[in-house]
Amino acid sequence: MPGTPESSPLGTAQRWVLVLVAVALALGLVMLRGGIQSESPMEQLARRTLDPQIALNNGRPTLIEFYADWCQVCREMAPSMLELERSTRDRLDVVLVNVDNPRWQDLVDRYDVNGIPQLNLFNAEGEPRGRSLGLRNLEELELLGTALLENQPLPSLPGIGSISRLQPPSSEESALAGTTSKPTAGPRSHG
């Protein structure tokens, strides 16, 4: 039509430039968000973890971490736990148990979890060797892992203790000791 200005559509070269810019921006966003595998170290461990009963009965030493998604210290320790799991794969079982999952309430009770992160350490026969409460760095986790793998005494680190019993004393034992049993605070109690 004469007299009307013709709109100039984008040329083929300009469209390709826009497509390339859009792809570059999308890739940049993916990389900034941690790549395609954007799961946190804790989520990676939790997704790959064995069932605790399988781990305790498969002939390998086991380290069970009782944790919660909201626990900042657990999240801080997760990269070191992931590295320990990777370096000891098929020799040491690293198992995560979320204290907020009702499925694991029996384990939380059985192992007297009253703070997190709590590590329970077991030999290859699934027998308790010790417990650790609080943040552990990679070096400390490697020392614990090596002690379990080599069936050696646990390292002397602050917050590491041996396991003396898994069940509270019976009322008869309490009466003989002159104590009464009091309920303990759970890992989610803060009062």
Is the Cβ–Cβ distance between 81 and 119 less than 8 Å?
Answer: no
Rounded to the nearest 10 degrees, the angle between the axes of helix 72-87 and helix 138-149 is 50
pLDDT number for residue 33 = 55
Is the Cβ–Cβ distance between 120 and 91 less than 8 Å?
Answer: no
pTM above 0.75, yes or no: no
3-class SS of residue 22: helix
Walk along the chain (191 residues) and give the pLDDT tens digit of each residue. 555 555 556 788 888 888 888 888 888 776 665 555 558 888 988 888 999 999 999 999 999 999 999 999 999 999 999 999 999 999 999 999 999 999 999 999 999 999 999 999 999 999 999 999 999 999 999 999 999 999 999 998 887 766 544 444 455 544 444 444 444 445 554 43
CA distances (Å), origin 104, targets 76, 81, 100, 122:
22, 20, 8, 18
From the CA atom positions of the chain, what is the Rg in Å?
Answer: 26
Distance (Å, whole) CA 60 – CA 156: 22
Q: Which amino acid is at 29?
A: L
pLDDT number for residue 161 = 65
Is the Cβ–Cβ distance between 93 and 61 less than 8 Å?
Answer: yes
| Of 123, 142, 144, 124, nearest in space to 132 by CA | 144
Q: Could you tell me the residue ranges of all domains in the chain?
A: 41-163
Query: Which are the contacts of 161, defined by CB distance < 8 A and separation ≥ 6?
Result: 130, 131, 132
Q: What is the CATH number of domain 41-163?
A: 3.40.30.10
As to burial, measured by CB atoms within 10 angstroms (0-12 exposed, 13-18 middle, 19+ buried), residue 134 is middle
